[in-house]
Amino acid sequence: MSINQLQHIIGGEKVSGSSGRIFDIYNPAKGKVIRQIEGASSKDTENAIQVASNALEGWSQIPPSKRAQIMFTYRELIIKHTDELAELVSQEHGKTFADAKGEVGRGLEIVEYCTAINNHLKSDFSADVSRGIDSHNLRQPIGVCAGIVPFNFPAMVPMWMYPVAISCGNTFVLKLSEKVPSCGLRLTELMHEAGLPTGVLNTIVGDKEAVDELLTNPLVRAVSFVGSTNIGEYIYQEGSKNNKRVQALCGAKNHMIVMPDADLEQSSDAIIGAAYGSAGERCMAISVVVAVGDETADQLIESLMPKVKSLNIGSYDDPEVEMGPVVSKASQEKIVSYIEAGINEGAELKVDGRSETKKEGFFVGGCLFDHVTSDMSIYTDEIFGPVLSVVRVPTYDKALTLVNDHEYGNGTAIFTRDGDTARHFTSNVKVGMVGVNIPIPVPVAMHSFGGWKRSLFGGSSIHGMEGVRFYTQLKTITSRWPSGIRKGAKFNFESGKDV
């Protein structure tokens, strides 16, 4: 069977890479290569940046209302091609088709937010800050921006970046994951079909060589990143060292506290979707349940075990499947090594999903650990797989301390019927995104997404108004007009001419 050869998109044209490194793109449900692409070299990346820079002046002077019109057209094209885009996501990532369609929909929300860019760019005006002096501000484009995106959300995360940057008048270089590039490339084609001038959005597929060019090239003014903490910290440090504005959204270990007064069946159902959806390969997955009290823990474990065991695991093209494979053989092996470490460290494996690794493809079944403690690697590390740990604590205060003491602070949730407990938790937890009886509290488009602690470097959340602020620079104008210029002016309205 011939393998489809993909190309980068620079200046609206499909371009072959020149790094000499061929990336194999797998269907993880089959464990087989379905596409290939030669990675972008530093020279290819430099070319994409230069093309974006050449397009900047013309695009930045396009009125925001005209940019919004392109986003309206883009929205319609994404809706029209949702199934196609979701198919590409599922083929290369492995998540179920329903999950992939949901991902496209969440990215679409950001595009819809950008159709109102006029409103988001409105400025403030203050009259008479002093006698005869007025002051106002403007939000203007920052320049060439770059986005570096992960494998786990090939549609949604790119749409968290470039639509906002482009709507604000910037040009953009998007660096896709070499594991799952097809959806991002197709989204770029649709952006041009919507009427975007060539050179405004340029999309490449590459590794560290391409990333380093983005971080060091002086034409790039801002870099957005979503991915692992070690890489995110590197991107933040290198980008900042090279005078770039950086937002780096990184790793997570998301806790869900279950109080004794919670509806335990509702909590159990929520946990299943939050822990095992997308095979746990999402930065907002719940990977730790903190059960307050042994009775709460016992009931949760009893409810969870049959649900985890009965998960229908297989390929995305089976409509009955609830969980697909993980993205690669390396990910599969890493997850299995964590499961073995958890057993060796003394945790109790209540559901063992390792038998699924015997299937064709990169599968790992749902795993459930009980009696996990905070010194175990399955608790401290982001596993990025379908592995759920249950930690038992005697009190709410102990649960809150556990969450706050972890190095990550991306997302968290509490399930309770008590408003006072929920209010105390939302006020005092040291985490960026908090759910109350909501297991995965991903903010909608008009709000912004971002964690705390080592889950975010650069201090800027993504999309929403935080995204608009990140991709623009503030200019404040203070003005005074000399008095007296009106004296002697005459207007002859009868003649239709001003004199």
Using CA atoms, how far apart are residues 172 and 142, in angstroms rounded to an integer? Answer: 11
* Confidence (pLDDT) at 444: 87
pLDDT in tens, 28-51: 999 999 999 999 999 999 999 999
pLDDT band at 58 (very low <50, low <70, confident <90, very high): very high
pLDDT in tens, 394-436: 999 999 999 999 999 999 999 999 999 999 999 999 999 999 9
Burial class (CB in 10 A: 0-12, 13-18, 19+), 451: buried
Task: Kindly list the structural domains of the chain, giving each domain's residue range(s) and its CATH number in brackets, ordered by start.
Answer: 4-250+455-478 (3.40.605.10), 254-436 (3.40.309.10)
Would you name the residues annotated as active-site residues?
A: 283
Q: Check whether 488 has a pLDDT greater than 60.
A: no
Q: Round to whole Å and give the CA distance between 16 and 355.
A: 41
Task: Work out the percent of the chain whose per-residue pLDDT is above 90.
Answer: 93
Give me the chain's average pLDDT, please.
95
C-alpha 454/C-alpha 251 separation (Å) is 7
- pLDDT for 368 equals 98
Instruction: State how far the alpha carbon of 96 is from the alpha carbons of 28, 231, 403, in Å.
Output: 12, 28, 31
* pLDDT higher than 50, residue 495: no
pLDDT, one tens digit per residue, over 469-485 is 999 999 999 999 887 65
Compute CA distances 477 → 123, 127, 370, 372, whole Å: 11, 12, 60, 58
Alpha helices, H only, 242-293: 264-276
The sign one gets for the Cα dihedral 108, 184, 251, 238 is: negative
How far, in Å, CA of 230 to CA of 477, rounded?
41
Q: Which amino acid is at 489?
A: A
- Residue 256 near residue 290 (C-beta atoms within 8 A): yes
pLDDT above 90 (res 74): yes
Are the CB atoms for 4 and 35 separated by under 8 Å? yes
Q: Rounded to an integer, what distance in angstroms lies between the CA atom of residue 104 and that of residue 111?
A: 11
Is pLDDT above 90 for 446? Answer: no
pLDDT at 498: 41
Q: Is 496's pLDDT higher than 50?
A: no
Both tokens of 304, joined, read 């969870």
pTM metric for this prediction: 0.93
Taking a C-beta distance cutoff of 8 angstroms, is the pair 175, 204 a contact?
yes
